[in-house]
Amino acid sequence: MITVVGDDRPGLVSALADVIAQHSGSWERSQLAELAGKFAGIVTVDVPEDRASGLAEALGGLTGVLDTTVHTARPQPERSGEGEVLHLDLIGNDRPGIIQEITAALTEQQVSVEDLQTKVVPTPQAGGDLFAARARLRVPDDADLPALRGALERIAQELMVDLSFEPEDDAGWE
C-alpha cells in the first residue's frame, strides 16, 4: 500500500504508475484526489515479493514530485456477510464538529466507516456554506439499527441537516 502527497500538477499519476510498472507491480485499487491544491491518495499494488524493496526504494526517488510512504499490507478476506452495508448522506449548515458527532453515534453501535467523502459548498443566496457528506457504512448484524437511526436523527435535528440512511446502491457521488 502506497500513500502519496504532492503539489497538484499534471503527470503525478503517470509518474507513480511508471515506477510501479518498472517494478512489475500491478495497480490494484486506489483513491486519489486533489484537495486544497495538494494531490493525495492511497494505492494498493500487487508486486512480486522479490521486487517489493526495489519498488519502495524507487518510490523514494519521487520526493519533490510526490512524497510517498510504503506500507506492507497482507490480503484481507472479503467481508461479505459481516453485516449490512448502508449509505449515510448528510447535508446541512457547515460548522465544526459535524463529523465528530456522527462518528461518535456510529462508534456506539460498532459501525465501521468503509468510505467517507465530504465537501463544503458555498450558498451565495444564504451567505454561508453547506457541509455535505456521503459515507458507506458496515453495520454489524447485532447493531441496534433503530437506536442508531434515532441517534443520527437527533444529531440531524440539532445540526439542521437533511439525513438519509439507506441500504447500499451503486449510485456514485460527484
- The per-residue pLDDT for 153 is 81
Number of domains in the chain: 2
Note whether 96 and 159 are same-domain residues: yes
**Domain end point (choices 23, 48, 70):** 70
The mean of the pLDDT values for the chain is 86
Task: Indicate the range of 6-10, 79-83, 133-137, 147-151 predicted with least confidence.
Answer: 79-83
Number of alpha carbons in the 13 Å side-chain half-sphere of residue 170: 0
In a domain, 75, yes or no: no
Q: What is the pLDDT averaged over residues 117-121?
A: 90
Note whether 52 and 90 are same-domain residues: no
The CATH number linked to 149 is 3.30.70.260
Note whether 12 and 34 are same-domain residues: yes
In a domain, 79, yes or no: no
In a domain, 39, yes or no: yes
Q: What is the pLDDT averaged over residues 7-30?
A: 95
Out of 72-81, 84-93, 102-111, 160-169, the most confident range is: 102-111
pLDDT: is 160 or 39 the higher one?
39
Here the cell at position 81 is 456477510
In a domain, 11, yes or no: yes
**Domain end point (choices 22, 41, 70):** 70
In a domain, 141, yes or no: yes
Q: What is the pLDDT averaged over residues 134-143?
A: 90
Residue 120 has pLDDT above 80, yes or no: yes
- The per-residue pLDDT for 92 is 79
In a domain, 77, yes or no: no
In a domain, 78, yes or no: no
The dihedral over CA atoms of 19, 23, 26, 29, expressed in degrees to the nearest 10, equals -40
Note whether 61 and 92 are same-domain residues: no
Here the cell at position 21 is 510498472
Task: Indicate the range of 2-6, 29-33, 73-77, 79-83 predicted with least confidence.
Answer: 79-83
In angstroms, rounded to a whole number, what is the distance separating the alpha carbons of residues 138 and 112?
A: 5
In a domain, 49, yes or no: yes
Number of residues assigned to the chain: 174
pTM of the model: 0.74
Note whether 58 and 93 are same-domain residues: no
pLDDT: is 17 or 93 the higher one?
17
Which residue range forms the structural domain that includes residue 135?
84-167
- The per-residue pLDDT for 130 is 85
